[in-house]
Amino acid sequence: MVLSAVAITGCSKHHTDGAVGSSQLTAACVSALNDSFAQDVHPFLVKNCAGCHTNGGSGKTKFAESSVSLAWGEFSSMGNSGIEKVYNNAISDSHAPGVTGSAIESEATLAHDNYDATLSGCTSGIVAGTQTEAKILNLDLGDEETLVWNLSDSLSPSVSGMSGAFLFLDIRADAGGYYVISNPRIRTGPNGIIVRDVTVYINGSKVDIATLYRGVNMEIPAWTSESSNEGTLSLDSIILESAVSPSTELQLAFAALVAN
């Protein structure tokens, strides 16, 4: 189980220009988008759109089917602009009065932004699916430390232009028997770094919660220090109710990570 506190703020209507068709995405990107849809978008659609956008409903596209695979087939048929169409209709007071509108805007924004972070990484040609090497959390109860990854030699696949760049993450083995992670941050070298969509893995398994650093979408300038706010990826602390063990491994993965 994972617990997280994240503040959601509203945003204005989104627009997409020159969306890339799904046929132009790599297999890895399509897989990543499928995962993001299942985790970030589908629960929102089932909750808020199933009255119309299922078989027998009046909605043209049946993307709110309870079956994730059926819903994904319908949703992906809309192309890369589908997330924008869904979002803009969801926050519209006139699309389905009493169902859509400002009351669900925060939910819609979270679903949109998490999916869009993955999509942006794919369509911009940025390396997708990059992950750090796993770190063994050899901590006793009450211990804490800062995990450090040298991004020039600890990424798979490797990413060019990461000289002088380091990733930091604070972790504590709480006395209650679980881990607390916080303050993910990057120190850059001579190049700035684009970061999108950070996911945590424990013992090789993704920590499956939409708000787990999934909304990260940053461009960190060059020569940012470890203590600089410019390099802080999130202010949220995450409780990982994974039993504290000397063999526990943790790693981070990114939908997009590139030097610019």
Phi, psi of 37, deg, nearest 5: -60, -45
Of 135, 192, 128, nearest in space to 169 by CA: 135
**Structure confidence at residue 11 (pLDDT):** 33
> Is residue 206 predicted with pLDDT exceeding 90?
no
Report the alpha-carbon distance of residue 237 to residue 108 in Å, rounded: 23
**Structure confidence at residue 204 (pLDDT):** 85
Q: DSSP alpha helices (H): ranges in the chain?
A: 27-36, 42-49, 68-76, 82-90, 105-123
The pLDDT confidence band at residue 197, using thresholds 50, 70 and 90, is confident
Share of the chain above pLDDT 70, in %: 84
Of residues 156 and 62, the one with the higher pLDDT is: 62
Report the alpha-carbon distance of residue 31 to residue 47 in Å, rounded: 24
Mean pLDDT value of segment 146-163: 93
Mean pLDDT value of segment 2-17: 32
Mean pLDDT value of segment 131-135: 93
Report the alpha-carbon distance of residue 75 to residue 200 in Å, rounded: 26
Question: Residues with Cβ < 8 Å from 116, sequence gap 6 or more?
Answer: 14, 83, 217
The pLDDT confidence band at residue 209, using thresholds 50, 70 and 90, is low
**Structure confidence at residue 201 (pLDDT):** 87
Say what angle helices 105-123 and 42-49 make with each other, to 10 degrees: 140
Encode pLDDT of 156-175 as tens digits.
888 889 999 999 999 999 99
Average pLDDT across the chain, whole number: 84
Map residue 234 onto helix, strand or coil. Answer: coil
> Is residue 61 predicted with pLDDT exceeding 60?
yes
**Structure confidence at residue 121 (pLDDT):** 67
Torsion of CA 15, 41, 26, 191, to 10 degrees: 70
Encode pLDDT of 15-60 as tens digits.
333 333 333 466 667 777 888 899 899 999 999 999 999 999 999 9
Lowest-pLDDT choice from 16-25, 50-59, 141-150, 182-191:
16-25
Mean pLDDT value of segment 241-256: 89
The CA distances from residue 149 to 98, 183, 234, 240, in Å, are 49, 14, 17, 20
What's 189's DSSP letter?
-
The number of beta carbons lying within 10 Å of the beta carbon of residue 87 is 24
Which of 74-78, 90-94, 158-162 has the highest average model confidence (pLDDT)? 90-94
Q: Check: pTM over 0.75? Answer yes or no.
A: no
Map residue 49 onto helix, strand or coil. Answer: helix
Report the alpha-carbon distance of residue 71 to residue 39 in Å, rounded: 12
Of residues 46 and 10, the one with the higher pLDDT is: 46
**Structure confidence at residue 129 (pLDDT):** 64
Half-sphere exposure of 188 (CA within 13 A, CB side): 24
What's 39's DSSP letter?
I
